[in-house]
Chains A and B, each alone.
Chain A
Amino acid sequence: MFKANSTRGLMIFGVLILVFLASSIAAYVISGNMGIEERFNNAVGIHPDSGEEGPSGIFGFNIEGNLVSYVIIASALIIICVVLYTRTKP
């Protein structure tokens, strides 16, 4: 019973993955290659004044927003996590 349910669950998950993957590829082909902001503006009908391109980043990965602020906030959050973890460690 357990095994049958487990396999069926995995199959349903696999089907969902295939359905969403197919729909996303279809949506990408129809809408074309765009960045997040551009895709959003295009979807709602906003036409930005300038066609400035964002930073290319490392291997295409880049940070949204201000990089320095990101590093500062992320570091502060990591420090808070370490302090909390060491205090509550069993």
Chain B
Amino acid sequence: METTLARGAHSAAPPLLQVDSVTLAFGGVRALSGVGFGVQPGSITAVIGPNGAGKTSLFNTISGFYRPTGGSIRFKGQDITRIPAPQRARMGLGRSFQNIALFRGMTVLDNIKLGRHAHLKTNVFDALLYMGRARREEAALRRDIEERIIDFLEIDHIRHAPVSALSYGLQKRVEMARALAMQPEILMLDEPVAGMNREETEDMARFILDVRAEWGVTVLMVEHDMGMVMDLSDHVVVLNFGQVIAQGVPAVVQADPEVGRAYLGSGNVDELRAKLRAAAQPAMAGAA
């Protein structure tokens, strides 16, 4: 029987990321209602749920793209709910995107270098002159990226290629590289293996585990591939209709009948409606 002390996680430590009763509404549409969970440092946490459950909205809220209508988000003990997105990136919130958001006007290398932006110091005067501080910083950056990221993700053969010329799988890898360049303490991966074949998925899974082992990075991922979720994660959070309907160790979550119903449907709409209404009551009271 698996205990909640999952492999690799230090549950005695305070959570690296704490999401508390987060509610997100767009006009009349509630994307998230009273979502709450914690991510332990050094763990791999997966957020799963049927399409439209609010997983990407959750990521976007944590990243700072959306401002939640209620609730709070704490990162490294600090309340970041009001902090703008670029600053969150500087604090160590790294991110990859569901529908590859690489910059098509740049090469692979430049895209990866961009990830480091928030940690660099070159200002516009340094940049115009280039000789001196900018050149040194760029050279150091290049060296660091080559040795630690490009080597690690095995993309040295495409470093100067324009990203638009790459295959889907390679683009996803470059996205990961860019996220790593952000020197993240927590790496948020939005569907890292979407659209990949068996081999590519295994490669990516290996990278994720290596990232955790070698870099000490905490991973929070949205994923649909149940195999990957069950094999990799220490903790699973299940979303449906913007609410957390279950969370815990993979085996427990997998066995939870609620989760089964969320994915497969109970066939009884009234029962589902009643269940949701009941679950929404404490959340609404909390958000009020």
A and B physically associate: no
